[in-house]
Amino acid sequence: MSTAPVSTTSSGARLFARAVAVCSFTDVHEQARAFDGWSLQYTQISGGLFHGTSSIVWIGGIRLLVEHLDKVIMQRGSVPSDRLAVAVPLELEGHARMCGEKSERDSLQVFSSGSEFEFFSPDRHVLVNVEIEPERLSTDPMRVLGTSLVSRPIGPLVPMAAEAAGNLRNLFKQTLAAAAQSSPDEQADTDRHIELLERNILYAISEVISDAPGAAPSVRPTRYWSLVNSIQEKLQDPASCPLSIAELCVQLGVSRRSLQYAFQEALGLNPIAYLRAVRLNHVRRELRLGDSVTSAATKWGFWHLSSFAHDYRVMFGELPSATAKRFLRRD
C-alpha cells in the first residue's frame, strides 16, 4: 500500500491526495475491506485463484476507488447513510446485476439507493466507485448539492445515454490520471484545484441522476428475484443452510425446474454450483477466523473431506490447509 500527503481544511476535513492506496488482492474478503465504513461481504462464485486490485484517490469530499475483479462475485452490504455511493463501469464482460436488475455498461449503479444492496459482478468487471461525503466538500454550495443528492430517492440503476456515459467515464479517467501524475509539491496549495474537481464530478453525477429516465426509485427485479433472495437468506446460517438442491426444493416447496429457471434468469448461474460456492466461501471465512479445516468443513455440511478439499482448491486456487496455515501464522 502506498500513501501520499493529505491536505485538510480548518475543520479537519480531508482534501486531496495522490494515490492514497494501490493494492492487489488474492482474497475477495481482503478486497472488500477497501471500502471504508461500509458493511460489505464478498462471496466468490466462479472458481480459480482470485486476482483483484483497488486504487483509491481522495479529492476533497469525494473518494474515487477503481476496482478490478476477475471472478463472479456476490456483493452484499450497505453504505453509511450520510454518503452517496455510485459506480460507473469502465470495462464489463457479461451482465452485472444490481438488486435483481441487469446492469449494462452504460448504467449508473447506485449502491446507496436503499438500506442494503446485492450486486453480482461478472467474470471481468472494472468499476470507478464514487463516494461523496457532503460535509467534507470544499464549499457551502457543494455541501448543499451533495446533501440534496444523498437525500434524493434514486433507484439502484440509472440508465445513461451512451454519450453521457462516455463523458462521465472520460471525466473520471482524466481525474485519475491527473491525480497520479501530480507531485506532493504541487499539492501544497491546491484548494482551488480541489474545488474545481469536486464541482466537475458533483455536477456531472447530478446531471445524470436528474436527466435520465428511471432516476426515480424504480426497482425492476427479474421475475424470480424474490425466490433467489429468499434462498440467499437460508444460506447464511449453517443451521438452515441446505446441503443439496433436493433439500432446498423441499424447504421452499418448489420444483427443481423452477429453481433452475429462477437462477438462470436472475443470476445466469447453475443453482448446484451456486450453493456449493456459497458454502465453500463460508468455510473460507471460518478458516480466516482460526477454525480448523475439519471443524469449518463439517459446520457447513462437507462430510467427505477429500472431495471437499478438491472443490475448495478448484474454487480458491489453494488447499484449505494452506488457508488455515496462513491465518494461523498471523495469530
- SS3 assignment, position 290: coil
Last residue of a domain, one of 211, 240, 259: 211
pLDDT at 5: 37
Angle at the Cα of 22 from the Cα atoms of 72 and 103, rounded to 5 degrees: 30
Give the chain's domain count: 2
pLDDT at 225 over 90: no
In one-letter notation, the amino acid at residue 231 is I
Residues 233 and 312 occupy one common structural domain: yes
CATH number at residue 126: 2.60.120.10
pLDDT tops 60 at residue 152: yes
3-state secondary structure of 231: helix
Lookup result for grid cell 464489463 = 92
What percent of the chain has a predicted confidence (pLDDT) above 90? Answer: 51
Q: Which of 173, 188, 211 is the last residue of a domain?
A: 211
pLDDT at 127 over 60: yes
Whole-number pLDDT of residue 15: 43
- The DSSP 8-state label assigned to residue 101 in this structure reads E
Highest mean pLDDT range out of 13-17, 101-105, 294-298? 294-298
**Contact between residue 52 and residue 28 where contact means Cβ atoms under 8 Å apart:** yes
- The closest of 62, 66, 52 to 21, measured between CA atoms, is 66
E-state strands within the chain: 21-25, 39-44, 52-59, 62-69, 73-78, 84-93, 96-98, 101-103, 107-110, 117-121, 124-132, 157-159
Distance CA 273, CA 83 (A): 35
Query: Are residue 272 and residue 158 in the same domain, yes or no?
Result: no
Q: Do 40 and 135 belong to one domain?
A: yes
Q: What is the pLDDT of residue 22?
A: 83
pLDDT digit string (tens) for 181-210?
A: 655 555 444 677 788 889 999 999 999 988
Q: Go through 286-304 and write b for each residue having 16 or more CB atoms within 10 A of its CB, e for each that does not.
A: bbbeebebeebbebbbbee
Cell reading at 271: 443453482
Is 300 contained in some domain? yes
* Residues pairing with 118 in the sheet: 76
The set of long-range contacts for 220-226, using a CB threshold of 8 Å and a minimum separation of 24, is: 220/100, 220/101, 221/99, 221/100, 221/101, 221/266, 222/97, 222/100, 222/101, 222/102, 222/265, 222/266, 223/265, 224/261, 224/262, 224/263, 224/265, 224/266, 225/99, 225/100, 225/266
Q: Give 159's contacts (C-beta < 8 A, 6+ positions apart).
A: 104, 106, 107, 108, 212, 213, 214
Looking at the structure, do residues 198 and 285 belong to the same domain, yes or no?
no
What is the pLDDT averaged over residues 211-220? 50
- Higher pLDDT among residues 20 and 284, named by residue: 284
Range of the domain at 40: 21-211
H/E element holding 266? helix 256-266
Predicted pLDDT at 320: 96
pLDDT at 226: 79
Note whether residue 113 is domain-resident.
Answer: yes
Mean pLDDT of 70-92: 93
Work out the average pLDDT over 31-39: 92
Mean pLDDT of the chain: 84
User: In the predicted model, what is the mean pLDDT of residues 76-89?
Assistant: 95
Statement to judge: residues 167 and 105 lie in one domain: yes
What pLDDT sits at residue 261?
A: 86
Q: Quick one: pLDDT at residue 214?
A: 45
pLDDT(215) > 50: no
Specify the pLDDT at position 177. 80
- The residue among 105 and 4 whose pLDDT is bigger is 105
pLDDT at 123: 86
Q: Are residues 190 and 106 in the same domain?
A: yes
Within-domain flag for 9: no
